[in-house]
Amino acid sequence: MLLSAVSSCNSLLLNPRTILVKMVSQAGTGFSFNTKRSRLREKLTLLHYDPVVKTKVLFVEQKKIRSL
């Protein structure tokens, strides 16, 4: 029983549930920010404030940065 508990714990460490992703503005300003999402979700698209154009614009996930 102890070995099964340890092996399940190791599988969680090797495959974390959340990842850190880079979100990039679609307004073409080059502004970006990092956020975390569940590994099982689809790629994120968010409405978020872009300080360069001073309004809310669409941000899309560009790439995975790291696992958390």
What is the full per-residue pLDDT of the chain (68 aa) written as tens digits?
A: 555 555 555 555 667 899 999 999 999 999 999 999 999 999 999 999 999 999 999 999 999 999 98
Name the token pair of 8: 């399940």
Prediction pTM value: 0.75
Q: In what order do the strands lie in the sheet with 32-38?
A: 32-38, 18-25, 55-67, 45-50
